[in-house]
Amino acid sequence: MSGALLGAAGCSSDSPSALRPKGPVAGRISALSWFMFGLSGLITLVVFGLMVRGLFSDGEGHRFRMSETRWIALGGVAMPAVVLLALSGLTVTSLHETDGPEPGSYPVEVIGHQYWWEVRYPQARGGPVTAANEIHIPAGRNVRFTLRSVDVIHSLWVPELGGKTDLVPGRTNHLTLKADHPGTFRGQCAEYCGLQHANMAFLVIAETPGDFQRWLSEQAAPAADPGAAAGPAAAGRRDLEQLPCAGCHTVRGTAAAGKVGPDLTHFGSRRTLAALTQPNTPPNVSRWIADAQAVKPGARMPPIALTDTQVSELVAYLRALR
């Protein structure tokens, strides 16, 4: 299932790896972890070598003899102190270099919800842009994330682009990431936040600056109007405005202005459904609307009694929201 989903989402590989960095922050983290791995490997070899020597030698006849006290002072205190100091120095420098607010970075706000991601673009021209579970960013440019949560602690992690940063209720955290080239990167909530923590994933879609601005202006436009004429999409719009859907969801340009669930203004343009739980296809949307709890137990979308006709009208309308 996940393979098919990632295929549909356009990812190049099944599992995003922090060891395949696609940006400078991830590159720095990866270099540091390889260095630590190499150094600890070396120390392990030296320690095992000394142990083997101790096992098979009677201690006589060696050119270099050291008192036990000196062994302990050098091998047990001085060496670890030097190694740990050097590693913490490198760690602090890396942290400093990867976490500063970069001048000219592009601001994106991410708000964690059980179990999905709200994404806002404060610098979008032509209207407020609020997306969900897909974070479009300009490639080759630092992106400064402002991270908040409305409920519990979540953590934003895009292994190929950088480290994790928590989204903490009542706090505002920041994270700077950059993708070297256009591409699609899978991200995941990295802090246990409840029953559907594992299904709280997202995509980071890095685009050329031109493609990114095009996407942004499409998203800034109000929702597509299916017209007043008869037809399933127009009926779906009336359903959405009149049924409890409108209490939670916003579709800009309609009476639906709820603030609890994801903004659906351009729902049809998204690749996946319910934070990457499923590809955004009509049968999946239909199942989700009819019984979200069967698809993602514990999700905040409550069951609503709908007729089959209402479900298919809503699916037709949501598909049209490109």
Specify burial of residue 56 (Cβ count, 10 A radius: 0-12, 13-18, 19+): exposed
What is the size of the binding site for ligand CUA (CB under 6 A)? 9
| Rg (alpha carbons) of the chain, rounded to whole number | 26
Match 């002072």 to its residue by tokens.
73
With CA atoms as reference, report the closest residue to 275 among 109, 159, 115. 115
Q: Which of residues 196-255 bind ligand CUA (CB under 6 A)?
A: 197, 200
Binding residue for ligand CUA, selected from 192, 227, 255, 294, defined by CB under 6 A: 192
User: DSSP string covering 95-118, please?
Assistant: HHHHHS--TTPEEEEEEEETTEEE
Q: Which is nearer to ligand CUA, 201 or 320 (CB)?
A: 201
Amino acid making up residue 167: L
The distance of closest approach from Cβ of residue 197 to ligand CUA in the complex, given in angstroms and rounded to an integer, is: 3
Q: Dihedral angle at the C-alpha atoms of 66, 67, 69, 73, nearest 10 degrees?
A: -10
The reply on whether position 135 binds ligand CUA by CB under 6 A is no
Instruction: Among 193, 204, 274, 299, indicate the residue that binds ligand CUA (CB under 6 A).
Output: 193
Q: How far is the CB of 114 from ligand CUA (least distance, A)?
A: 7
Question: In whole angstroms, how close is the CB of 115 to ligand CUA at the nearest point?
Answer: 6
Q: Which stretch binds ligand CUA (CB under 6 A): 64-72, 124-132, 185-193, 210-218?
A: 185-193
Q: Does 154 bind ligand CUA (CB under 6 A)?
A: yes
Residue 201 and residue 133: Cα distance in Å, rounded?
7
Q: Examine residue 119 and tell whether it contacts ligand CUA (CB under 6 A).
A: no
What are the residues binding ligand CUA (CB under 6 A)? 112, 115, 154, 189, 191-193, 197, 200
